[in-house]
Structure 1
């Protein structure tokens, strides 16, 4: 009887391992990006870091540089269009905040 339950456990485990790549294909980064709500400029954390959806709108900020946008920032996550500073939200690739740091490379 113990062998029967162990055999069943192993069969189910092997099926689960075989199905894993199929499940991962469904959960692509695009799926996650589509579910992230856009960050509002009025959100408290966005206001704290002076986030704007268009980098040109921050041209008068002392920390702003002409070529600084979310898309070339080290905190930008291209696979989800998110930012590590604004967890759970997508940000505009052309956006900017005062924490912008040039992406290495």
Structure 2
């Protein structure tokens, strides 16, 4: 029984969902982050191009098809795969 209980404790951190980044977070707001790239303010961010989103950004720590993933700019919070911010950089390859 002790072994099964230990395995459950070790698995618990992975099972915990990570927090999604809030657009109102100060760092997110400073970088113009939106959870849906279709809502980018193109007047404020004229370098935005259709098709850019977190899922195809070099900083995105996940698969391009993931609904959310990590980004080193936002610490432990996850960004939406469909999101965008002004730090977007084309993924190599």
The answer, yes or no, to whether TM exceeds 0.5 is yes
Over 3 Å counting, the alpha-carbon distance change for 1:44 and 1:59 in structure 2 is closer
Q: How does 1:1-105 map to 2 (within 5 A)?
A: 26=11, 31=14, 34-58=16-40, 60=42, 61-78=45-62, 81-105=69-93
**How many residue pairs align between the two structures?**
80
RMSD, matched Cα: 2.5
Q: Normalising by the residue count of structure 1, what TM-score does the alignment of the two structures yield?
A: 0.66
Stretches of structure 2 that go unaligned for 5 or more consecutive residues are 1-6
Q: Residues 1-26 of structure 1, C-alpha deviation per residue, up to 9 Å, x if partnerless?
A: xxxxxxxxxxxxxxxxxxxxx8xx94
**Greater radius of gyration (CA):** 1
Q: Normalising by the residue count of structure 2, what TM-score does the alignment of the two structures yield?
A: 0.74
